[in-house]
Each structure stands twice: as C-alpha cells, then as structure tokens.
C-alpha cells in the first residue's frame, strides 16, 4: 500500500518573530531559539522513523535554514531540495518592519487583527491570505502533490501564512475558521493522504 506522506513545518523563531515585527518577504535569519526549534523538529521526525525523498522550501533564509537543520538531525542531507518564492511568507506591504504593538496603536487592534487573520483583506500594499493562496496552491498542485500521490515522502519548510493557505485546503477550513488558526514555529504536521488527495490522517508533533 502506498504511503502518501506530506510533512509541513513552519520555520523556527526568527529574529523578527522575537522582536514582534511584521516580517513578510524580508530575509531575516533564525534566533538561537529558532535553531533549537528546527533541530527539535528534526529529532521528532527522526523519532517517527520517517525517511524523506524530497524537500521543498521558500526563497527565504529562515525557512531554508530550518530545513537544513531538520535534515541534519534526520541524517538526510543528500535528498533533493527545491526552493521557490511561491512558498514565501505573505507580503505584509507597508506593515513590514513595524512592531505589531505599534501597528495596533496606529490603526487599532481590530484593523490589525483583520489584516493578520482575515482571508481576503490585505494590509496596505501587501497580500491577503487569499492572495498568498493564489501562488501557494498552484505550486502545491503542480510540484508537490504529484510526488506525494506517487508515494514519495515530502517535507515542506515554509511560513505561517503560506502554510495556513495550504492547511486551509487540507483541513477544509472555511474563510471564517481559518481566521482562528495560528501555526506554531517548528512544529511538524504529518499528513497522510488518500489517492484522491484528501487527508487520510493528520498528526501534530507539538511538544
């Protein structure tokens, strides 16, 4: 029986996560804690006995470094890795580089929450989750899903919102329920898919 395995991991804590700044496409590296989270994610996956065939990540260093550290812990650094900006974090536009508390003071708690969590409302000059999904999902369907359906074990290291766009489809979230979903840094989500690409099972390797 084919094991159609897909593992999604949000990158470890970045320097701007720590400073509570909107990051978007700004290329910010991991903190020491983020490095530890990435290594721990790799150890957890190793504990599951998973052997990966291929990995995908974004064009941003925090996701790439998380992937490298996980593969190092897994002892699987030789597998093919594909990097594409389709998997980048959503672009926060004019919010990039701003402290989230300062943004709340400027625009109000409710408006900032809408920009961060809503499905179809974008911050000024940036992307909504719907806009993010418009680049993530075609890439998933064309590049990642066919490999999973062939029985390859696929690891994806990406970002809170690029993965929310994907999890929205996999877990059948509505535009309402997705607003409540937050993905923690460095926590692997292990999906096994049916032949029709729907989810057979999901396991969250939270601490």
Catalytic residue among 11, 127, 152, 153: 11
11 is catalytic: yes
Active site residue 113: no
User: From its phi and psi, is residue 125 left (phi > 0), alpha (psi between -120 and 50) or beta?
Assistant: left
CA pair distance 194, 18, nearest whole angstrom? 38
The active-site residue out of 37, 40, 73, 89 is 89
List of residues 6+ apart from 109 with CB closer than 8 A = none
Beta-carbon contacts of residue 27 (< 8 Å; ≥ 6 apart): 60, 61, 62
Please tell me the distance from the alpha carbon of residue 21 to that of residue 17, in angstroms, as a whole number. 6
Catalytic residues: 11, 89
């Amino acid at each position: 029986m084919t094991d159609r395995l897909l593992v999604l991991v949000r990158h470890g804590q970045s320097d701007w996560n720590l400073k509570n700044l909107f990051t978007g496409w700004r290329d910010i590296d991991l903190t020491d804690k983020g490095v530890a989270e990435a290594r721990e994610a790799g150890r957890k996956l190793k504990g599951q006995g998973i052997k990966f065939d291929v990995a995908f990540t974004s064009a941003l260093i925090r996701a790439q470094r998380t992937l490298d550290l996980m593969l190092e812990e897994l002892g699987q650094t030789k597998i093919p890795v594909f990097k594409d900006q389709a998997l980048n974090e959503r672009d926060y536009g004019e919010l990039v580089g701003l402290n989230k508390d300062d943004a709340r003071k400027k625009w109000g708690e409710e408006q900032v929450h809408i920009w961060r969590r809503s499905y179809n409302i974008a911050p000024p000059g940036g992307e909504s989750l719907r806009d993010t999904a418009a680049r993530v999902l075609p890439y998933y369907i064309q590049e990642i899903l066919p490999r999973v359906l062939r029985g390859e074990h696929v690891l994806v290291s990406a970002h809170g919102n690029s993965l929310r766009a994907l999890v929205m489809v996999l877990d059948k979230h509505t535009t309402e329920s997705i607003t409540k979903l937050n993905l923690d840094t460095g926590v692997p989500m292990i999906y096994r898919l049916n032949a029709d690409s729907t989810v057979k099972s999901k396991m969250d390797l939270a601490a």
